[in-house]
Structure formats: C-alpha cells, structure tokens
C-alpha cells in the first residue's frame, strides 16, 4: 500500500488570558505530511498557516515542525 499521505486540518483556537486582556482567537490550517513506519502512521512534517486572528497583540509567523524518530 501507500507509505505517504497528506492532510489539511482547519483550526480555531480560543485563548482566555488571566491578566484582564480580552479573549483572543487564532484561525489557521495545519498542513501535514504523514509517513508509514514500522510503528504505524506518523506525522513527518507539520506546517501551521495563519488565516487570521482576533485580539492578539503579537505578530504571527509560520511554524514548521519536522517529525522525529
């Protein structure tokens, strides 16, 4: 069978702060690449793309994570 796959997962992440700031929301997508290993399917690479946010006062940047053994 196949030994690689990919997926896009949409995320809405709601954040509540305990310092009085208003709640914040992040919108984005995880772009994942999977590989089949001897132990089963594993995420080989994950990239987070921001689609927008509400009430965050910090700049967003792409986050790339590679799978580890």
Q: Which two tokens stand for residue 22?
A: 């208003």
- Alpha-helical (H) ranges within the chain are none
Of the pLDDT bands very low, low, confident and very high (cuts 50, 70, 90), residue 63 is low
45: closest CA among 54, 32, 35, 56? 32
Q: Indicate if the pLDDT at residue 60 is higher than 90.
A: no
pLDDT in tens, 12-58: 999 998 988 899 999 999 999 999 999 999 999 999 898 999 998 76
Spatial contact of 33 and 42, defined as CB atoms under 8 Å apart: no
Does residue 59 carry a pLDDT above 80?
A: no
In angstroms, the CA 20 to CA 54 distance is 16
Please tell me the pTM assigned to this model.
Answer: 0.73
């Amino acid at each position: 069978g196949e030994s690689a796959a990919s997926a896009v997962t949409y995320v809405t992440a709601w954040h509540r702060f305990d310092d009085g700031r208003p709640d914040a929301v992040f919108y984005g997508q995880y772009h994942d690449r999977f590989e089949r290993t001897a132990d089963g399917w594993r995420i080989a690479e994950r990239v987070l793309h921001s689609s927008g946010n509400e009430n965050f006062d910090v700049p967003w940047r792409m986050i790339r994570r590679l799978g580890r053994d």
